[in-house]
Amino acid sequence: MATLVLDNGANSAKIGYSLEKVSVIPNCQFRSKTSRLKTFTANQLDEIKDPSGLFYILPFQKGYLVNWDVQRKVWDHLFGKEMFKVDFADTSIVITEPYFNFSSIQESMNEILFEEYQFQSALRVNAGSLSAHHYFHTNPSELCCLVVDTGFSFTHIAPYCRSKKMKEGIRRINVGGKLLTNHLKEIISYRQLHVMDETYVINQVKEDVCYVSQQFYKDMEIAQLKGEENTVMRDYVLPDFSAIKKGFCKPKEEMVYSGKYKTGEQILRLANERFAVPEMLFHPSDIGIQEMGIPEAIVDSIQSLPEEMQPHFYQNIVLTGGNTLFPGFRKRLEAELRSLVPAHLPVSVLLPQNPICYSWEGGKLLAHSPDYDEIVVTREDYEENGHCICEEKFDT
């Protein structure tokens, strides 16, 4: 019996058999400007010759799975003969869903997994629970951990004690990678070049040049300096998809501070955008979102829990999700927490080697654990008892 682990994120699906390696695949469909009629699914993105003006069709809206037609197409592609060649009758699936998912979405998912695909058995679980499982597996002496999962749609903070999630301490901030990319599009469109249709390209810009500032106001001052004194400024060469397939940052020594480049490339000049965009994770109020930033929300979450457990949570904070890859993210979070937390309590923030696949790896470990068969729902169970057996068994 094979087990397929699928961390079904709103931006990318992390998928692979529990005995193999993970693949990270876009969880959406695309239409390109050049071939309007053809729809590309998941990793067919690589076949698009000119991804400028790429149009995304996403299965998720605001973090919840609402467009089942698109999700089916992506899953058909992933499970099909081009990708994972799933033999449904002999395969168990571990699949993730967001915290506080709607029961209507859960029912649809049960139906699709058991009635359409006819998996042998399934386990539906929060991605954070898999991350916690991974953390406790690698740190067996620890009893508590706080999972900070900052992804595409939003950021969740979830405390776990002995692998059990503590619902009263879960916090959600409605800031994620999608918002950051959209905000960067708006700033660039307002300041220098209309890029509102260029989600794909600007997302790449964000990943290549943005970082989390350690001293926001100091960096703001540097960003206003002229010429070479402005150490924040970078020139980003935009792709034209013929000679330049992928955008890149001009090396420091090649930067021209006054006048134009002779090479004829299209350049974006970025200064305070580089750190002002990720700053929204720490201060959503900067752009009018009336919510706590990540450090405050962590403290708020931990303070809602029993007092004797609080020191353990501050020492076991684990970061997952794509936004944690901004340079300086972990350092800034630890520094901000240090100033908010009582001085006698140690604070430790762990950034795993691969924060995007951390929960997938947790699912892989769970699939090999001895009590895996106890926690799944088999197709026979489902056919006999329907949706309610899933409600009983899955802790979501």
The model carries a pTM of 0.92
Rounded Cα–Cα distance for residues 297 and 291 (Å): 9
Helix (H), strand (E), coil (C) string for the chain: CEEEEEEECCCEEEEEECCCCCEEEECCEEECCCCCCCCEEHHHHHHCCCCCCCEEECCEECCEECCHHHHHHHHHHHHCCCCCCCCHHHEEEEEEECCCCCHHHHHHHHHHHHHHCCCCEEEEEEHHHHHHHHHHHHCCCCCEEEEEEECCCCEEEEEEECCEECHHHCEEECCCHHHHHHHHHHHHHHHCCCCCCCHHHHHHHHHHHCCCCCCHHHHHHHHCCCHHHCCCCEEEECCCCCCCCCCEECCHHHCCCCCCCCCCCCEEEECCHHHHCHHHHCCHHHHCCCCCCHHHHHHHHHHCCCHHHHHHHHHCEEEECHHHHCCCHHHHHHHHHHHHCCCCCCCCEECCCCCCCHHHHHHHHHHCCCCHHHHCEEHHHHHHHCHHHHHHHCCC
pLDDT at 174: 94
Rounded Cα–Cα distance for residues 332 and 171 (Å): 20
Q: Which residues of 281-297 are buried (b: 16+ CB within 10 A; e: fewer)?
A: bbbbeeeeeebbbbbbb
pLDDT at 396: 67
Q: What is residue 279's three-state secondary structure?
A: helix
**Residue found by looking up tokens 């979102």 in the block:** 289
Q: How far is C-alpha 185 from the chain's CA centre?
A: 19
Rounded Cα–Cα distance for residues 261 and 255 (Å): 9
pLDDT at 251: 87
Which positions ≥6 away from 128 have C-beta within 8 Å?
A: 99, 147, 149, 156, 158, 160, 165, 320, 359
pLDDT at 182: 95
Q: How far is C-alpha 240 from the chain's CA centre?
A: 28
pLDDT at 395: 76
Per-residue pLDDT of the chain (396 residues; tens, 9 = 90+): 899 999 999 999 999 999 889 999 999 989 887 776 788 888 888 887 778 778 888 999 998 999 999 999 999 999 999 889 989 999 999 999 999 999 999 999 999 999 999 999 999 999 999 999 999 999 999 999 999 999 999 999 999 998 899 999 999 999 999 999 999 999 999 998 999 988 989 999 999 999 999 999 999 999 999 888 889 999 999 988 888 888 899 888 888 887 777 777 889 999 999 999 999 999 999 889 999 999 999 999 999 999 999 999 999 999 999 999 999 999 999 999 999 999 999 999 999 999 999 999 999 999 999 999 999 999 999 999 888 898 888 876
Rounded Cα–Cα distance for residues 277 and 178 (Å): 11
Please state whether beta strands 377-378 and 121-126 pair in parallel, antiparallel, or not at all (unpaired): antiparallel
Q: How far is C-alpha 344 from the chain's CA centre?
A: 33
pLDDT at 158: 96
Domains located in the chain, CATH noted: 2-24+65-126+356-395 (3.30.420.40), 130-175+289-350 (3.30.420.40), 177-278 (3.90.640.10)
What tokens were used for 280?
Answer: 């929204």
